[in-house]
Homo-oligomer: A and B are copies of this chain.
């Protein structure tokens, strides 16, 4: 089986894999892990199930790969918070980036949320190590900034959680938001930014 080899993938193999991952993302995010069948994924990827399983040895591997890529994606904006920038600006830029993530990658957001929701049972905990590391370092950075009086005193954990919650909400709870708000999602993301950025700016700007 291909997925057990350690040789580098050919260009064609990489192309196939990304086609499959795209289909899997669609199906997994719409149905959850158990609700998604590899048949449906194979169908969405326009190939036979055995051919799919040639590229990914099982359903788990497919799922893990997606989850891992998503975590990577999630991490980037966090990593980009610069120690050297203006603290309030840096955080606001982070919020904007997270909102863009939600807008541009809602399926990834929902996939990730679904995994957390059921208790992160399927994902290898090792997957979360990079997140942990970056998270801890940014926590330290926020504490520094607060200690230096460059942002108001906030518990950095809860600050980050509330940023995550408010930005990811628009992707994860899209179905509910569409029920309650008449606007299109594109408009809503604009509104979200107009609401959230000033809110956090007000919260964080020292007097």
Contacts and interface: CB of A to CB of B under 8 A. Distances in A.
Contacts of A181: 157
B117 A110 contact: yes
Contacts of A29: 118
A142 to B, nearest CB: 12
Contacts of A54: none
B119 A30 contact: yes
A120 interface: yes
B195 A158 contact: yes
A155 interface: yes
A118 B109 CA distance: 12
B175 A169 contact: no
Given A117-B113, A161-B170, A195 B154 contact: yes
Nearest to A194: B155
Contacts of A114: 32, 114, 117-118
Interface residues of A, number: 49
A75 to B, nearest CB: 13
Given A165-B165, A203-B202, A172 B113 contact: yes
Interface in A83-118: 110, 113-114, 116-118
B166 A162 contact: yes
A103 to B, nearest CB: 14
A116 B176 contact: yes
Interface in A151-196: 154-155, 157-159, 161-162, 164-166, 168-170, 172-173, 175-177, 179-181, 191-192, 194-196
Interface of A: 29-35, 110, 113-114, 116-120, 125, 128, 131-132, 135, 154-155, 157-159, 161-162, 164-166, 168-170, 172-173, 175-177, 179-181, 191-192, 194-196, 199, 202-203
